[in-house]
Amino acid sequence: MAKRIGIIGFGGRVGHLFGKLEEINPEFRIAAIADPRKDEHIARMGDAAARIEWFEDADEMLDKAELDGIVIGTRCNLHTEMALKVLKRNMPLFLEKPVATTFEDLRRLKAGYEASSSQVVVSFPLRNTPLVKLAKSIIDSGQIGTVEHVQAFNNVPYGGVYYHNWYRDESITGGLFLQKATHDFDYINYLIGLQPTAVCAMKSKQIFKGDKPAGLMCKDCEEQHDCEESTMKPQNRDRGVYCSFATDTGNEDSGSALIRYESGMHAAYTQNFFARRAAEKRGARLLGYKGTLEFDWFTNELKVFMHHEARVQTHQFDPNAIGGHGGGDDVLIQNFMQIVNGTADSLTSLDDGLMSALLCLKANESANTNTFQEIAWT
């Protein structure tokens, strides 16, 4: 009998990941979905919706549907609340990032996790990509020496999505450290294998601000045909509907953080949301005494520069041979199915999710208060 998976919050990300679950593995199927927009989803899915039990309330689904694992894909500010419901039932859980958007929720989630026997897969695909797996093996081999400095970067070419739709509401998202840097902080922690001890950060809003009326939609703006960010233009049509130069446009448009680790070394990370086209870049440089390792997901390339000999190694991955998020999405789904079957442990545990969220929240606090922040739970 196929394993029965329940979904709480059938958003775009979860729909993309699990929408073809049965095609990936016929031993699994989406058996139940809890979503207040269930009627909209049923109409969109047509005949496929008939094989699914539909609920408007997560508790009702968890109480009535016999399920083997749960996927949470709600909007970000509900991740903790929904996760706690599942953790109380000690069920396998796939949890979208960020795992929490406030310090209070983060502490609640940590306590609930410590009291639960649930195995949790946090949606951190980047550490599971071929690029990072290769980087990890090279670093662990000692080829470049001990990593003593990290320079990480994320120039987001599709940044308009954070200003055109619900992502602009920081009460839902918790801000862009939690939306983007949570991935990057996680893979950095994974690669260097050290605990962060302090962070300082800055953020700024220089581009996506203005005096357009709150709630203005691009289609109603007199500049809709000239504005580079207009959602009326083909390249922006999947970003949302609202003006990104209105008075109610939230989110910073660039941010940077310095993270100190337990050995004394530090990492420098920076992200921005107005780079476009070939300016896109996401990856890192990790420097040891013997060499420097560099990779970029947009080029699917990893290089190792040796410091004491005239040698550069280049590794190129075929983009057609890997899936979403640089190949990390497929690993996440497979790992979750293994956990439901009881054959593996999580590759991206809730411990990892909690630490990354703590770093992001502390970075945001640092930027807001112009202070260094210790990475501690007290």
What number is the average pLDDT over the span 33-55? 91
Domain's final residue, options 223, 247, 271: 247
- 199, 340: one domain: no
CATH code (residue 303)? 3.30.360.10
Domain presence at residue 352: no
Confidence class for position 256, pLDDT limits 50, 70, 90: very high
Cβ atoms of 216 and 223 closer than 8 Å? no
**Can you tell me the mean pLDDT for 275-297?**
97
Residues 6 or more apart whose CB falls under 8 angstroms from that of 222 comprise none
The sheet with strand 3-8 has its strands ordered as 53-55, 28-34, 3-8, 69-72, 93-95, 120-122
The pLDDT score that the predictor gives to residue 358 is 98
pLDDT, residue 275, reads 97
Residue by residue, DSSP assigns 125-180 as: -GGGSHHHHHHHHHHHHTTT-S--EEEEEEE-TTTTHHHHSGGG-HHHH--HIIII
- Structure tokens of 169? 């509401």
CA pair distance 86, 112, nearest whole angstrom? 10
Mean pLDDT estimate for the chain = 95
Pair (176, 226) in one structural domain: no
Residues 114 and 228 in one domain: no
**R_g of the chain computed on alpha carbons:** 21
Mean pLDDT of 269-298: 97
pLDDT at residue 116 tops 90: yes
What confidence category does residue 238 fall into, taking pLDDT thresholds of 50, 70 and 90?
A: confident
**pLDDT bucket at 121, cuts 50 / 70 / 90:** very high
Q: For 136-154, how does the pLDDT look when each residue is reduced to its tens digit (9 = 90+)?
A: 999 999 999 999 999 999 9
| pLDDT score for 36 | 92
Is residue 16 scored above 90 in pLDDT?
A: no
Same domain, residue pair 52 and 139: no
Residue 321 is predicted with a pLDDT of: 76
Q: Name the residue range of residue 164's domain.
A: 126-208+250-322+357-374
Based on the domain organization, do 202 and 161 belong to the same domain?
Answer: yes
Residues 10 and 23 in one domain: yes
Same domain as 133, residue 117: no
Same structural domain, 370 and 315: yes
- Residues 196, 98: one domain? no
C-alpha distance from residue 23 to each of 26, 29, 93, 152, 330 (Å): 6, 9, 21, 36, 13
pTM of the model: 0.96
Same domain, 218 and 276: no
- Predicted confidence (pLDDT) per residue in 319-338, tens digit: 877 777 888 999 999 999 99
The confidence score (pLDDT) of residue 305 equals 98
Q: Which of 247, 270, 302 is the last residue of a domain?
A: 247
The answer on 294 and 198 residing in a single domain is yes
Quote the pLDDT of residue 353: 98
Q: Is the domain of 194 the same as that of 297?
A: yes
Cα separation, 260 vs 362, whole angstroms: 12
Phi, psi dihedral angles at 299 (to 5 degrees): -100, -10
Per-residue pLDDT tens digits for 180-232: 999 999 999 999 999 999 999 999 999 999 999 999 999 999 999 999 999 99
Q: How many domains does the chain have?
A: 3
Residue 324, pLDDT score: 78
User: What confidence score (pLDDT) does residue 45 get?
Assistant: 87
285-295 pLDDT, tens digit per residue, is 999 999 999 99
Asked whether the predicted pLDDT for residue 19 surpasses 90, the reply is: no
74-104 tens-digit pLDDT: 999 999 999 999 999 999 999 999 999 999 9
- Confidence at residue 162, expressed as pLDDT on a 0 to 100 scale: 96
